[in-house]
């Protein structure tokens, strides 16, 4: 699977426009909003847009937030409604990088 920038750029432009209207202060809030808006995110994009050097750490924080929300609201035997999917994609130069997106389970 080749890494195609165009769909990511279109979603990123829409999300950045929304982010400018929103008063998100932390990297985690901005990244979570972007992913929940339907975007796919790579470490390089996170570095370019939000100055986030440790995207995997922010993704882990968001995953923990989803689990905390699920534990406080869950009906018995129900799975969490959202899950962050990690997919390894190839760049044009052939390197493999992580790409994160939200996968809705419900």
pLDDT, tens digit, 9 for 90 and up, residues 60-98: 999 988 888 777 776 665 666 678 899 999 988 999 999
**Phi, psi of 104, rounded to the nearest 5 degrees:** -85, 125
User: Could you give the number of structural domains in the chain?
Assistant: 1
What per-residue confidence (pLDDT) applies to 87?
94
User: Do residues 37 and 15 lie in contact, with contact meaning Cβ atoms separated by under 8 Å?
Assistant: yes
State the CB neighbour count (10 A cutoff) for residue 102: 20
Q: Higher pLDDT residue, 23 or 55? A: 55
**Contact predicate 15/33, CB 8 Å:** yes
Its pTM surpasses 0.75: no
Q: How far is CA 44 from the centre of its chain?
A: 13
| Average pLDDT score over the chain | 80
Its domain, for residue 45, covers 5-104
> What is the predicted pLDDT for the residue at 17?
66
Contact (Cβ atoms closer than 8 angstroms) between residue 97 and residue 88? yes
Residue 1 confidence (pLDDT): 44
């Amino acid at each position: 699977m080749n890494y195609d920038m165009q769909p990511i750029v279109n979603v990123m432009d829409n999300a950045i426009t929304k982010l400018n209207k929103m008063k998100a202060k932390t990297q985690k809030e901005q990244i979570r909003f972007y992913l929940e808006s339907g975007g796919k995110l790579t470490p390089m994009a996170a570095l370019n847009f939000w100055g986030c050097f440790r995207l995997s750490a922010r993704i882990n924080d968001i995953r923990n937030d989803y689990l905390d929300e699920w534990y406080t609201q869950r009906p018995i035997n129900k799975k969490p409604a959202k899950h962050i999917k990690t997919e390894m994609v190839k760049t044009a130069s052939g390197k493999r990088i992580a790409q994160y997106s939200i996968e809705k389970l419900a």
